[in-house]
Amino acid sequence: MPLWLTLTGTVVYLVVMVFGARRALVPLEATYHNRGSRFSGDMISAVLLLLLASAWVTEWLGIHALFGAFVAGAIMPKDPGFMHDLSHKLEDVTVVFLLPLFFAFTGLRTSIGLVDGAAMWFYFTLIMMVAVAGKFGGSAVSARITGLSWRESGALGILMNTRGLMELVILTIGLELGVISPALFAMMVLMALLTTAMTTPVLELLYPQRLLHQSLLVSEEEVGEYTILLPLSLPSAGPGLLDAALLVVPPERQPRVYALHLIAAEGGPLRLIAPEEDVFAPLIRHAVERGLEVRPLSLFSRDITKDILDVARVKRAKLIVTGWHKPVLRGNILAGTVGTLLQEADADVGVFLQRAPAPWRHVLVSRRDGTSDPVLRAEQNLKDTVEATVTWREDGPRVERRDERSRSAGAGGGVSTVAVRPATERRPRDGEGGYDLIIASLPPGLLELDESTLGRAVGVHEGIGVSSVLLLRGRNTGGAAQERVA
């Protein structure tokens, strides 16, 4: 095909795809949302037909089918849910069928026998040296100049030195266009395979998994900071966990907040991945409104409970606040991940069940003799922010009641302190309404905790089911954590 026709046809093709086909895909995105964010067979067929047609046009114009496939992907709607579900639908075909087929096709076109004789192996050695020096050496030196350590620079260099699928795609295109010879193609394929195969052993030599794990997580803690770890599974839970955690921060300390999102993986060690924006977005927006910074962490994990404890340890977390997403308190709260955190974490632990959104104006603090520090801190912080705080304290067999009114210049609210025997029921006074939030210390020695047990522990038999609940366990009051601290 003449060059002028290829250039003209390419311009027309791009105009049609960007301004025509792209707009034609808008109804496809609307249909996807109208069907409850699901793809039908017809919708997948339309996407595949567009992909094949675009690839055929660019191949006919004399460019390459790969370019057409790229343009078809570039004009697809960029709604995160749409792209995620479409990629998931096509993944089985591409990864299970097309990708192995491409590697097999590339292998059939590679004639290792063409690399024969001292001269050819000398050229191959030069290719390997230039390839490794260019990517490994160039990346490592550049990283070192920017301030990374030699160990980190070497790890970055060996990762950048890896060749894979795209290298083979480019080589195949070059062979088809006659830019490279079959012998050079064979040497370049061998180079791509060797540099990819050497990545794992060299990376383990330069940066062992133990050191890599620690460096991914650990960070310097500034003087006066109070580190909080928020394990996050649901995006909607983030703002409430942050509000609950801030109730426990000592007034003189600056909170340093880490949000941790763990994704279950079938194999492999704990490793860092790119943060998922959708998971952290509500939390980060809420933190900005409160003038705070949240540091998101996303990791693949084989053991979620163990990895939460590990992250809390290397981050020197003083407080872990996790959610409890059941609509009602059924079953044993102290089982599973929550129970293990309560028993084994060296930090203070909070379990938060949100039913009433912040700000909480009527809060019950259920306090016992020997109550751990986080409950006392929450009580102290609430005195300046809520209209009424009711605190309970166990003072032995007698029953005392005294009302102490403390006025805050900012809030003007009072604090009622009531001393009672355990398991005494008290409903809010007339006109008070229900509690927005109940803060309670976990009674020592509990092995099971459900709604009934919790109601007896905090002295409220009614209202647990409609109030947000924050259960706190100080680092010196629970299980294995207490033994380690001691």
State how far the Cα of 453 lies from the Cα of 39, in Å rounded to an integer: 46
Whether residue 374 is contained in a domain is answered as yes
**28, 156, 239, 279 from 295: Cα distances, Å:** 36, 23, 14, 13
Has residue 135 been placed in a domain? yes
- Residue 266 pLDDT grade (very low, low, confident, very high; cuts 50, 70, 90): low
Residues 192 and 96 in one domain: no
Q: Of 280, 296, 323, which residue constitutes the final position of a domain?
A: 323
Does residue 303 sit in the same domain as residue 348?
Answer: no
pLDDT at 477: 44
Q: How confident is the model at residue 120 (pLDDT cuts 50, 70, 90)?
A: very high
- Alpha helices in 229-387, H assignment, sequence order: 238-246, 277-289, 304-314, 336-344, 373-382
Number of domains in the chain: 4
- What's the Rg (C-alpha) of the chain? 31
Q: pLDDT higher for 424 or 20? A: 20
Domain with residue 264: its CATH number is 3.40.50.620
Residue 213 lies in a domain: no
Residue 228: pLDDT band with limits 50, 70, 90 = very high
Q: Are residues 155 and 245 in the same domain?
A: no
In this structure, the answer to whether residues 183 and 303 fall within a common structural domain is: no
In this structure, the answer to whether residues 484 and 352 fall within a common structural domain is: yes
Q: Domain of residue 57: give its range.
A: 3-108
- Report residue 426's pLDDT band, with 50, 70 and 90 as the boundaries: very low
Tell whether 451 is covered by a domain: yes
Domain annotation covers residue 449: yes
Is the same domain home to 463 and 334?
Answer: yes
217 within a domain of the structure (yes/no): no
Q: Omega of the bond prior to 275 within 30 degrees of 0, cis?
A: no
The pLDDT value recorded for residue 485 is 30
Residue 328 C-beta-side C-alpha neighbours within 13 Å: 6
The answer to whether 263 and 279 have CB atoms below 8 angstroms apart is no
Q: What is residue 272's predicted lDDT score, i.e. its pLDDT?
A: 52
Q: What is the mean pLDDT of the chain?
A: 77
Average pLDDT over residues 65-93: 86
pLDDT digits (tens, 9 = 90+) for 315-344: 888 999 988 755 444 555 666 777 788 878
Domain boundary (207, 239, 271) is at 207
Element (H, E) at 60: helix 41-60
User: Would you mind telling me the total number of residues written for the chain in this entry?
Assistant: 486
Q: Please report how many Cα atoms fall inside a 13 Å half-sphere around the Cα of residue 265, on the Cβ side.
A: 16
**DSSP assignment letter at 62:** T
User: What are the tokens at 383?
Assistant: 């005195």
pLDDT for position 214: 62
Tell me, yes or no, whether 41 and 59 share the same domain. yes
Q: Between the CA of residue 458 and those of 102, 307, 366, 440, what are the distances in Å?
A: 65, 31, 5, 6
**pLDDT of 157 higher than 50:** yes
Site of tokens 């966990």: 241
* Alpha helix positions (H), 2-137: 3-15, 22-24, 26-34, 41-60, 65-74, 80-93, 99-108, 117-132
**DSSP track, 125-163:** HHHHHHHHIIIIIHHHHHHHHTT--HHHHHHHHHHHT--
Question: What's the pLDDT band for 432 if we cut at 50, 70, 90?
Answer: very low
Mean pLDDT of 199-228: 72
- Same domain assignment for residues 72 and 147: no
- DSSP conformational letter for 17: I
Give the per-residue pLDDT at 265: 67
pLDDT at position 159 over 80: yes
User: Do 116 and 104 fall into the same domain?
Assistant: no
pLDDT range class, residue 218, cuts 50, 70, 90: low
Identify the domain boundary among 47, 75, 108: 108
10 and 76 share one domain: yes
Residue 212 lies in a domain: no
User: Does residue 482 share a domain with residue 337?
Assistant: yes
Tell me: do 96 and 123 sit in the same domain: no
Instruction: Judge whether 214 lies within some domain.
Output: no
Give the count of alpha carbons within 13 A of 230, CB side only: 29
Per-residue model confidence (pLDDT) at position 225? 81
